[in-house]
Structure 1
């Protein structure tokens, strides 16, 4: 051993010099991360561009290279698996065959990519037959994934042993990731993408091409939802919209079935996606035997090649709807957990519907651009050759002499290129200056190609090639032209392969609307005289004892006052009646949500009001659906009419006429009635009249109505209340100065309409005129709002119950110069969860009995103030 050779065991020398110290936990962590990324990128997750995992991509490419296309004969699956494993995917034949078999299953793939012969499994969970017994070839639609792969459209990489090249991605002429979906479990993450309808996905892609700013909702106008190969039904659309908007969601899928009551059976025709039919029948039978499901006497599987048919025979006397509900609760519904996770530039990402289509579109643009560049190069090369041929034909005699007098083929080529000179009889032939490619082609030409017909064909071909070059240059130079090519090719695929949807929607069907995205909650809506509008959650206003000043409900600009306040739900559809006799339709969620101290936003885009037009009444359309009734309207001058709710079905955005008004008259209030109610009209000067609504005949929208109350002097109507004795116990009256009272319904004796009525409340300098009259019941809350934006919520039971001819008690402490602007009632059902009172009350609150008369005085006043009704 040389003396220069270090000792192998000497520290820091020889082999020891290559050893590095490392913490075992750090090495384990890094090694695991490397392994995890290898699984994520190399096995388990699909690429967003072609929607394929490596194994599926390699199978299809191996079939393409072996010529096992849709136009060839079928080949043994074992042969396909062997070639895939030997050349591209060295991970075992079982994994490859499982992937091949799945691509051939029409119950797994919405559009199968493999055309199989033999047993490739069933919906009963039966495994495919051994690969030596089955045969396969590419399905026609699979060829669309590989179209133009030989035109440098995608990148290639070396296979596992560097013998061959394989594509990193397929050109993919359609968005296969969404069309066929994918599922897989990687390390620490998983993907579960449902299949979709090809036509819908292509339409959405075209929409994105034409409108790059399209939202998920816009794309959902085309992609209604997943379209499973096994059909069935999706329950509701909210989960679908969430999945498309966020990339994650839980979609309920329900079997398609028919309840045949006369035959006493339930027939299942379609199963949820990936449901094992045999296992489903077994589970139902187990529950029947265990007594968990009653009423079933037999289950038969009558399925065949034409489709699913599972017959559930019912016992005599069994209620089919009950059995159906039991089956739905436990067996006929499943949840498909959408996780739209795919590889983007080699990194896993959860994608929205738009992002998925955008990444595909970017890939397709790259493919078409590279294909166009390839075809342009080929076309330019061909044009160059054709130019040489045309030039040769023009000088055919000299060209022939040059070739004939050259000593060899190479000399002839050199002469044609002008590198050497050929002489004939001592005279040099002309130098043509052909390029090397042109010279090679001319020397190889046959004499038959020198005919005039051949010359004409060359000229025609040259013109065609020039057109092709011009078109390709246009595509490469103009993004819109390139997109037009993509769009045209997508629509061609749609025309060739698209079919009808198989999966339908049940229950919450209909298009996804904005309401689906709005949390359902009770809100207070405030409108000002200058048409500022906003909504606030009712929960922001805790109930206080009566007599308080309330809290700020809105910030008004100088000179503006509150016009109206009403309580509703964000999902309610409302009819807004104005003092001009118009009615507008408004969805509560359209009103912008703002804080208590905000002014609100202009209502011009929501309600097309005229100058001086204000909301005087709001009716919930849900109330109209519960009854076949009427909208009863009363005007300031005392006219009343009833109009059937059917007359208010089609309301224009600019509103429609609700009632005709005399000059100077205004619509005061509106109530929903069903033809059996009593009505109470209240006036500003404290008078009231109660009569049966049948005394007012039903009229059209354009009618004025009849007199409901005979007004005295300059008195005007403040409002109308409909009595429903199953829910209402009192008439509640509130005045502009913040006073009010409850009075038992019995105190309002029924009369004929058009009478002067009875005293409802004393109106004087302290009380001010009446602002609102309502019927209320136990548990109801009152919302009172002042002109200057103060708002008070209080239980109606906190307001004293007194007789009619009384002054009432203070409800809201009104500041000097302010007045009550509007009053609304929160029904008990909406306020039952918020019954705790805020102990802050006004120090100025009056005692309950301060303004109440004794009963004897009340009776005397009642008899003295009663005035007989007059007939109209």
Structure 2
């Protein structure tokens, strides 16, 4: 279009500005962020309300929907709020109205709701056309004196009406009811408190302006959640009050009671703030079903209008302490992150407890001052009128005559002004007086009222002239509010006695852990298996599912923290007590919740983290003969999904892992009976996700069977076990050191009778072997049952395995003093 077109202004070119895009985007985003911060997401420190809360309450006030009126349809309240003050959509307004009516969300609900306003189970409220609401009595205290010029007003969104920029707030609502919200780049999460305690703290601050936060905490010891429950420990509370930020540990209230069956039941009666009761019950049930929570017979929600009652009924043989601890760890404790962020003069600030009260007190002083000024002006106006009436009574005959002689009202007013020196307002009032007010009784009433008004003026002048008098008014009004509305504290503060873990509740004992190829796992006390002479069949150690086979057996203490290495090079962390304890013949339970194993992934080595020292290494060997050393410290933080322990070549697998000290000799044994010994320093230390170096040369068809760490002068023997149940014990001193990556020396003859080597272990005279076959037979025998022989021998029968069965896994067990050995 041409610039001289009649539709284009002549100065259009001059009005075009060149602006850098990044500068415009930055400024526009800042404007948007501040709009969200000040206009929607953060509460004002003075009345503790966001704009939507304030507008709903003011709309109800203007519509006369007070605590003494009939309930009004929620849709009507929402409509008036949206149409006059808050043009942001009805659903947001109704959600806010609902929350202000929920006794489990607000410590002092501001709305009195009638109908379905949701539940602690997360049930949604009924549609706004079905529910009704009105202001709660305490909400009127937030609006008290709003018509007495106590706060500033501003135009509404379309300029038709005015709305308050803040409410007078007769009590510190931000602390009492708390607030939560997310703005752009910041969030607030102020916990609710007890009204009486907050008022006491405010009065203490008035009387002691230089008081410390610990002084205030004598009155406000902790937040007071509407759902009760317990806050664990005082340090976090103190930090939150001092800095404005902190993390509170909130614990459900529960007790243990004996049920009709004679077993225990854990009864939950109060929940942490904002915890969904229905979801809590579902999550506990999920833990019971997947086996991570054992010992639960039944789970019932017996809650009613009188309160919460969730019953966890235990089996007769259940350990109540363990179940209780699991519930605490997984379900009955939540963290409440305190962020005392509020708007101060339109700017967001994180505030301490004292700062919150100081800002409220400054606001309240301004409100009372402006109210007093307003009341003083009204009282002075009234005193002026009363003075005129009294003078008129003193000159009643003359005043009446002057009015009677006047032609009209205007003339009468003029005569009163001129003849008796009345002001315009006095003259107007006298002209409108009735003759009945000239009686002596009426005169006495006017005298009495005048005395009252002058006394009120004097009092108001004292309040305005002396801040201590003004503060006295604030204190008195706060005390009256406390008397009328304060309730008992619901949330208790309990001392933290230290973290109690399942490990603390479970007796320490040695156990045998069995894992199958299809990932069934269990633990059985070691004492279940008697020590037998070598060559026996052992006993049934696991009732395997058809087609399943034992893949791993190892011994550990229930208090051990284990690193579990798989054939695919992954490392998982496992706490022994987390493995379900079952009978000797039981199949076990799925390990899916303990070890996130992929298809075909099996445990090949288990290392106890108690063996770690500052200079320790984890030395690994793979099936194809690769050896790798990595500092043990790199395995301190293991994710629940596992971490990489070694990077494997295609087709290779991890076979064994040993803890070494940097000065050890390594003995690598092969399935065909070869063994090589070399200094571990020949395999330099590398990171976790590395491949390592060649450790042993393997002939065609041979693979690595195991790894042992030893030192010069080690008096232990190398115990070699074959798949057909044969084995031998040979002093480690007979394996002379060589250079890395050789074929090594013959360790054991592997022919048809023996079969391939399954594993090698370093044993002493006091050690015992626990061997398990693929078919589930388990045998415990003393290492001393096998005589010491040289290398390159056949060995003797260790375990009598049936045809078609083979030894699957062997572990060394060192019995303690309490262990007893039987034949």
In structure 1, what is the equivalent of residue 209 of structure 2? 212
Q: Does 1:239 align with 2:236?
A: yes
> Alpha-carbon deviation of 1:13?
5.7
In structure 2, what is the equivalent of residue 253 of structure 1? 250
> Alpha-carbon deviation of 1:507?
2.8
Structure 1 residues 302, 457: CA separation in 2 closer, same or farther (over 3 Å shift)? same
TM-score normalised to the size of structure 2? 0.59
In structure 2, what is the equivalent of residue 470 of structure 1? 458
Give the Cα separation in 2 of the matches to 1:465 and 1:509: 62
In structure 1, what is the equivalent of residue 282 of structure 2? 282
Give the Cα separation in 1 of the matches to 2:452 and 2:60: 34
Q: What is the SS of the residue equivalent to 2:487? A: coil
In structure 1, what is the equivalent of residue 486 of structure 2? 498
Structure 1 residues 190, 403: CA separation in 2 closer, same or farther (over 3 Å shift)? same
In structure 2, what is the equivalent of residue 122 of structure 1? 119
Q: Does 1:139 align with 2:139?
A: no
Structure 1 residues 381, 313: CA separation in 2 closer, same or farther (over 3 Å shift)? same
Structure 1 residues 263, 389: CA separation in 2 closer, same or farther (over 3 Å shift)? farther
Give the Cα separation in 2 of the matches to 1:198 and 1:51: 14
> Alpha-carbon deviation of 1:298?
1.1
Contact 1:9 1:16 in 2 (8 A): no
In structure 2, what is the equivalent of residue 264 of structure 1? 264
Contact 1:62 1:84 in 2 (8 A): yes
Give the Cα separation in 1 of the matches to 2:8 and 2:453: 73
Q: Does 1:160 align with 2:148?
A: no
In structure 1, what is the equivalent of residue 470 of structure 2? 482
Give the Cα separation in 1 of the matches to 2:372 and 2:497: 44
In structure 2, what is the equivalent of residue 507 of structure 1? 495
In structure 2, what is the equivalent of residue 407 of structure 1? 407
In structure 2, what is the equivalent of residue 334 of structure 1? 334
In structure 2, what is the equivalent of residue 841 of structure 1? none
Structure 1 residues 118, 392: CA separation in 2 closer, same or farther (over 3 Å shift)? same
Structure 1 residues 397, 8: CA separation in 2 closer, same or farther (over 3 Å shift)? same
Matches within 5 A, 1:308-319: 308-319=308-319
Matches within 5 A, 1:418-817: 418=418, 431-508=419-496
Give the Cα separation in 2 of the matches to 1:6 and 1:307: 76
Q: Does 1:48 align with 2:45?
A: yes
In structure 2, what is the equivalent of residue 385 of structure 1? 385
Give the Cα separation in 2 of the matches to 1:496 and 1:188: 40
Contact 1:368 1:486 in 2 (8 A): yes
Contact 1:6 1:14 in 2 (8 A): no
Contact 1:141 1:497 in 2 (8 A): yes
Can you list the C-alpha shifts for 1:111-146, whole angstroms capped at 9, x where unaligned?
000000000000000111000000000000000000
In structure 2, what is the equivalent of residue 585 of structure 1? none
Give the Cα separation in 2 of the matches to 1:432 and 1:398: 9
Q: What is the SS of the residue equivalent to 1:204? A: helix
Give the Cα separation in 2 of the matches to 1:227 and 1:384: 51
Contact 1:255 1:269 in 2 (8 A): yes
Give the Cα separation in 2 of the matches to 1:207 and 1:332: 36
Q: Does 1:29 align with 2:26?
A: yes
> Alpha-carbon deviation of 1:413?
0.4
Give the Cα separation in 2 of the matches to 1:65 and 1:257: 45
Q: Does 1:107 align with 2:76?
A: no
> Alpha-carbon deviation of 1:48?
0.3
> Alpha-carbon deviation of 1:238?
0.5
Q: Does 1:362 align with 2:351?
A: no
Contact 1:120 1:127 in 2 (8 A): yes
Contact 2:295 2:323 in 1 (8 A): yes
In structure 2, what is the equivalent of residue 81 of structure 1? 78
Give the Cα separation in 2 of the matches to 1:505 and 1:289: 34
For structure 1, the 5+ residue unaligned runs are 419-430, 511-872
Give the Cα separation in 2 of the matches to 1:223 and 1:458: 49
In structure 2, what is the equivalent of residue 697 of structure 1? none
Give the Cα separation in 2 of the matches to 1:11 and 1:299: 77
> Alpha-carbon deviation of 1:394?
0.4
Aligned residues: 494
Give the Cα separation in 1 of the matches to 2:461 and 2:496: 51
Give the Cα separation in 1 of the matches to 2:360 and 2:33: 25
In structure 2, what is the equivalent of residue 225 of structure 1? 222
Contact 1:7 1:14 in 2 (8 A): no
Structure 1 residues 434, 20: CA separation in 2 closer, same or farther (over 3 Å shift)? same
Runs (4 or more) in structure 1 with deviation over 4 Å come to 8-13
In structure 2, what is the equivalent of residue 301 of structure 1? 301
Give the Cα separation in 2 of the matches to 1:110 and 1:11: 61
Can you list the C-alpha shifts for 1:632-682, whole angstroms capped at 9, x where unaligned?
xxxxxxxxxxxxxxxxxxxxxxxxxxxxxxxxxxxxxxxxxxxxxxxxxxx
In structure 2, what is the equivalent of residue 782 of structure 1? none
Give the Cα separation in 2 of the matches to 1:296 and 1:243: 38
> Alpha-carbon deviation of 1:12?
12
Give the Cα separation in 2 of the matches to 1:276 and 1:9: 66
> Alpha-carbon deviation of 1:505?
1.3
Can you list the C-alpha shifts for 1:745-765, whole angstroms capped at 9, x where unaligned?
xxxxxxxxxxxxxxxxxxxxx
Structure 1 residues 509, 402: CA separation in 2 closer, same or farther (over 3 Å shift)? farther
For structure 2, the 5+ residue unaligned runs are 499-823
Give the Cα separation in 2 of the matches to 1:257 and 1:139: 32
Contact 1:231 1:271 in 2 (8 A): yes
> Alpha-carbon deviation of 1:195?
0.3
Give the Cα separation in 2 of the matches to 1:134 and 1:125: 17
1:201 maps to which of 188, 198, 201: 198
Give the Cα separation in 2 of the matches to 1:498 and 1:166: 30
In structure 2, what is the equivalent of residue 320 of structure 1? 320
Can you list the C-alpha shifts for 1:176-222, whole angstroms capped at 9, x where unaligned?
00000000000000000000000000000000000000111110000
> Alpha-carbon deviation of 1:289?
1.0
Give the Cα separation in 1 of the matches to 2:182 and 2:335: 18
Give the Cα separation in 2 of the matches to 1:508 and 1:310: 24
Structure 1 residues 267, 14: CA separation in 2 closer, same or farther (over 3 Å shift)? same
Can you list the C-alpha shifts for 1:458-496, whole angstroms capped at 9, x where unaligned?
000000000000000000000000000000000100000
In structure 2, what is the equivalent of residue 776 of structure 1? none
Structure 1 residues 405, 188: CA separation in 2 closer, same or farther (over 3 Å shift)? same
Q: Does 1:19 align with 2:16?
A: yes
Q: What is the SS of the residue equivalent to 1:18? A: coil
Q: Does 1:182 align with 2:206?
A: no
Can you list the C-alpha shifts for 1:422-463, whole angstroms capped at 9, x where unaligned?
xxxxxxxxx101000000000000111110000000000000
Q: What is the SS of the residue equivalent to 1:17? A: coil
Can you list the C-alpha shifts for 1:500-534, whole angstroms capped at 9, x where unaligned?
10000123399xxxxxxxxxxxxxxxxxxxxxxxx
2:87 maps to which of 80, 90, 94: 90
Q: What is the SS of the residue equivalent to 2:285? A: helix
Give the Cα separation in 2 of the matches to 1:176 and 1:356: 11
Give the Cα separation in 1 of the matches to 2:495 and 2:285: 27
> Alpha-carbon deviation of 1:302?
0.4
1:57 maps to which of 54, 59, 68: 54
Q: What is the SS of the residue equivalent to 2:117? A: coil
Q: What is the SS of the residue equivalent to 1:16? A: coil
Give the Cα separation in 2 of the matches to 1:87 and 1:12: 37
Give the Cα separation in 2 of the matches to 1:134 and 1:382: 45
Contact 1:97 1:131 in 2 (8 A): yes
Give the Cα separation in 1 of the matches to 2:497 and 2:98: 35
